[in-house]
Amino acid sequence: MRVVYWARFPLAKARIIERLGSVTGCDFDVVDKLGPALVALPGAEALILFDAPVAEARQVVQALTAPGNTIRWMHFISAGREGFEAAGLPRGIVVSYAAGAVAATVAEHAMALMLALGRRIPEIAVQTHEHRWDRAIAARATSLEGQTLAIVGLGHIGQELARRARAFGMRVVAVTRSAKPNRDVDAVEGLDALHRVLGEADVVAIAIAMTEETHHLIDAAALAACRRGATIVNVARGSVVDQTALCDALRSGQIGGAGLDVTDPEPLPAHDPLWACPNVLVSPHFGGAGSKASVERIAAGVVDNLERLKAGQPLANVVDH
């Protein structure tokens, strides 16, 4: 069996290659660029990949729907597949993904952003650089203990975040599409209660999947519904938040701070107004990086499904498309 691994990003790359090499009867091509990936597809049976921008995803989909295509399984290393879903995932090919593999690490990153903003870490870094001891900063510091965290979206990342937040003594409420009770949170509400829940929260963490329904879910009205001075953390997708509205809310003080691992667009242009907004931390979409445990989960998921495919068994974490 021949496998094409389109390694757009280095996340788990070395470990995936190592694990693929241990699978008997498996030959694989590792390519970093779209062009070589398209060239490698003919004759292969499996494609391992990250999500990609719609234009690139569309080229892959066209190749997979052309006469003579031999790919019968696609496995996404990334949790999101928005680019390919917009292009149209090809029918007749089983699609799976690394469900929850990096959720714990992303949740940890979300906690880091919350803590950094509340404990005034950016200001401390400036004072340290300037060799300046100024305890006035203490008056602006906040503690997570006793605060209310509203998590928008309670999938793998949201649940991992809820567990960590409760360990910090936070009250945790969630807003989800299903509104199903969950033992990791104190209360769950449906999306129709979003604005009411936002008004209860000291910190709002966004971990919901990007869909047509959730595009700009956090808009000017949602930000106005927040408790004044609340903190916003986004580890989902940049377009879930209306960034223009967020900038306005930050400048007015309606939102007290924002920690963003995702932006719209990415990379965020150097001239974007978001960079100049007060009390903002922007990390370059690396919330899932840095965990050996996550890397092992990603690589194990690839190999497990590959072995299942070879044995004619049902695959794990299959996407309904």
Quote the pLDDT of residue 80.
86
**Residue 16 binned pLDDT confidence (cut-offs 50, 70, 90):** very high
What does pLDDT average to over the chain? 97
Catalytic-labelled residue, pool 56, 266, 297, 308:
266
Active site residue 237: yes
Q: For residue range 184-193, what is the model confidence (pLDDT) as tens digits?
A: 999 999 999 9
Residue 252: name the closest of 273, 228, 272 by CA.
228
Q: For residue range 193-246, what is the model confidence (pLDDT) as tens digits?
A: 999 999 999 999 999 999 999 999 999 999 999 999 999 999 999 999 999 999
Q: Which helix (H) or strand (E) holds 31?
A: strand 27-31
- pLDDT for 107 beyond 90: yes
Residue with tokens 């241990």: 22
DSSP per residue over 266-321, as a string?
SSPPTT-GGGGSTTEEE--S-TT-S-HHHHHHHHHHHHHHHHHHHHTPPPSSB---
Q: What are phi and psi of 31, to 5 degrees?
A: -130, 145
Q: Which helix (H) or strand (E) holds 255?
A: strand 255-260
Domains within the chain, CATH numbers bracketed: 2-101+291-311 (3.40.50.720), 103-282 (3.40.50.720)
Residue with tokens 């870094």: 125
pLDDT (average), residues 91-107: 96
Quote the pLDDT of residue 9.
93
pLDDT (average), residues 74-95: 94
pLDDT (average), residues 289-310: 97
pLDDT (average), residues 125-130: 97
Q: For residue range 29-70, what is the model confidence (pLDDT) as tens digits?
A: 999 999 999 999 999 999 999 999 999 999 999 999 999 999
Quote the pLDDT of residue 308.
97
In whole angstroms, how large is the CA radius of gyration of the chain? 21
**Residue 321 binned pLDDT confidence (cut-offs 50, 70, 90):** confident
Quote the pLDDT of residue 295.
97
Quote the pLDDT of residue 290.
94
Catalytic-labelled residue, pool 8, 19, 237, 297:
237
Catalytic-labelled residue, pool 19, 75, 285, 297:
285
- pLDDT for 79 beyond 90: no
**Residue 176 binned pLDDT confidence (cut-offs 50, 70, 90):** very high
DSSP reduced 3-state for 59:
helix
DSSP per residue over 144-212, as a string?
STT-EEEEE--SHHHHHHHHHHHHTT-EEEEEESS----TTSSEEEEGGGHHHHHTT-SEEEE-PPP-T
Residue 12: name the closest of 220, 307, 246, 303 by CA.
303
